Amino acid sequence: MADLQLDAVTKVFTERDGNQITAVDDVSLTIEDGEFLVLVGPSGCGKSTTLRMVAGLESISAGQVRLGDTVVNDSKPKDRNIAMVFQSYALYPHMTVRENMAFGLQESTTMPDDEIERTVESAADMLGIEELLERKPDDLSGGQQQRVALGRAIVRDPEVFLLDEPLSNLDAKLRAQMRTELKRLQNDLDVATIYVTHDQTEAMTMADKIAILNDGELQQVGTPLECYHEPANLFVASFIGEPSMNFFDVTRDDSRLVHDHFRYDLSNETGDELASAQGELVLGVRPEDIDLQSTPDGAHTYATVVDVVEPMGNENNVYLTIGDEQTQTFVATVDGMHHVEAGETVYAHIPESAVHIFDRQSGHALR
Ligand code: ATP
């Protein structure tokens, strides 16, 4: 088993009219043996292209992909010992589940038939699909087809697993169940895995490490909690977390941050920490870090009017407006037992310890 390394990997597509698109721009990543890395980002950011370059399905314009000490840029897909599971499952409709799972081994190895048989049955057992082995893909549910696609990858005993949005065709309940199953399976197999998704919940719940991509460029690599608590820039801050972090445009005036509708006083300690933060800034605060009070009590507490309440069961998302023109809206996530109503005035407390500060121009996090 080996680490997988992407070293300054770039992909430039040339369109028919000669226009060039940099789909993946200078991406460097290490996925350690046994590690589950989730590559996440909005549609079109270059996730699939990155995965396809690792799998050998797309040529690499610049940089290197290494498996252990071996550069695999020019190796054929079947020689890379990498297995990929696609969103569409790509099962052969005329073959049974057993034949689908055995096919790759028959094609690419010299494994004797009886050993192939044993390998398929053991993978089927691991995935709980022994009873489906004689069925055809069309007779299976989406979740079952997904397991077969995984089975086909597992039997190859690969050094690296690549999964491209494998759960996106499943309904929400099954997706949540498969999330746990997949995570457990990856733990058991202990194989370096890249899992591509645009769903930040999947990223947060499944990853050992998250890599966040935007416009082909890597924004941050870290554990889910690092990316949540210490986002490197505005993009990561808005992408990770649901509902998204609230942002307020502010300027620095000595020991204060000045917004059109409120002033945020900084303690001496925070002021010193932010000595270099001048000019146009963005104050960020997560909805779950805002407390709502019925009276204005203490510092950093602002009068707001409830616009909409979105009950989530155990929590309520409370959309608020601040300022006379009610132009700035933001959201607080509070306990489901905390009742407030549209039109009511409440006081939002934004604790200093929860405040993130970004440079407005570069987007970089300053705190
Ligand atoms: P999604 O989540 O929608 O699948 P993605 O993050 O996987 O998106 P990619 O499919 O990797 O994104 O595409 C990245 C960029 O490269 C996009 O702008 C896409 O239009 C472009 N692209 C992908 N394949 C090609 C191609 N064969 N020729 C030209 N441009 C391409």
129-166 pLDDT, tens digit each:
899 999 999 999 888 898 899 898 889 888 999 999 98
- For residues 184 and 177, is the Cβ–Cβ distance under 8 A? no
Whether ligand 1 lies within 6 angstroms of the CB of 13 is answered as yes
Mutation test residue for ligand 1: of 38, 49, 57, 198, the one with most atoms within 8 Å of CB: 49
- For residues 180 and 191, is the Cβ–Cβ distance under 8 A? no
Whether ligand 1 lies within 6 angstroms of the CB of 179 is answered as no
For residue 78, what pLDDT band results from cuts at 50, 70 and 90? confident
Report the interhelical angle of 97-108 vs 113-127 (nearest 10°).
130
Give me ligand 1 centre to Cα 132, in Å: 35
pLDDT of residue 298: 86
Give me ligand 1 centre to Cα 187, in Å: 30
pLDDT digits (tens, 9 = 90+) for 245-265: 999 999 999 899 999 999 999
Query: Which is the closest atom of ligand 1 to the Cα of 50?
Result: 11
Of all residues in the chain, what percent carry a pLDDT higher than 70?
Answer: 99
* ipTM of model over 0.95: yes
Whether ligand 1 lies within 6 angstroms of the CB of 43 is answered as yes
For residue 175, what pLDDT band results from cuts at 50, 70 and 90? confident
DSSP per-residue letters across 95-112: S-HHHHHHHHHHHH----
Beta strands 36-40 and 192-197, pairing class: parallel
Query: Which residue lies with its CA nearest to atom 24 of ligand 1?
Result: 49
Q: What is the DSSP letter of 87?
A: T
Residue 97 φ/ψ, nearest 5 degrees: -55, -45
User: What's the helix, strand, coil split of the chain in %, to 5?
Assistant: 30, 35, 35
Mutation test residue for ligand 1: of 17, 45, 213, the one with most atoms within 8 Å of CB: 45
**Given a cut of 70, is residue 1 above it in pLDDT?**
no
Whether ligand 1 lies within 6 angstroms of the CB of 39 is answered as no
Helix (H, G, I), strand (E, B) or coil at 304: strand
pLDDT digits (tens, 9 = 90+) for 20-66: 999 999 999 999 999 999 999 999 999 999 999 999 999 999 999 99
Whole-angstrom distance, CA of residue 239 vs CA of residue 231: 10
Residue 86 φ/ψ, nearest 5 degrees: -95, 160
Token representation of residue 129: 């699909």
pTM of the model: 0.91
Single-letter amino acid code for the residue at 230:
E
Helix (H, G, I), strand (E, B) or coil at 24: strand
Token representation of residue 149: 């696609």
Query: Which residue lies with its CA nearest to atom 1 of ligand 1?
Result: 43
Whether ligand 1 lies within 6 angstroms of the CB of 44 is answered as yes
Give me ligand 1 centre to Cα 10, in Å: 13
Residues with Cβ within 8 Å of residue 336, at least 6 apart in sequence:
311, 312, 313, 314, 315, 316
In Å, the largest CA–CA distance within the chain is: 77
For residue 122, which of 154, 91, 100, 94 has the smallest C-alpha distance? 154
Beta strands 82-85 and 328-335, pairing class: unpaired
Give me ligand 1 centre to Cα 23, in Å: 6
Give me ligand 1 centre to Cα 48, in Å: 7
Residues with Cβ within 8 Å of residue 255, at least 6 apart in sequence:
265, 266, 268, 271
For residue 204, which of 232, 188, 225 has the smallest C-alpha distance? 225
Q: Which residue has the higher pLDDT, 298 or 326?
A: 298
Where does residue 18 rank: exposed (0-12), middle (13-18), buried (19+ CB within 10 A)?
A: exposed
- For residues 186 and 219, is the Cβ–Cβ distance under 8 A? no
- For residues 333 and 288, is the Cβ–Cβ distance under 8 A? yes
Distance from chain centroid for Cα 283: 24
Give me ligand 1 centre to Cα 47, in Å: 8
pLDDT digits (tens, 9 = 90+) for 215-233: 999 999 999 999 999 999 9
- For residues 178 and 127, is the Cβ–Cβ distance under 8 A? no
pLDDT of residue 32: 94
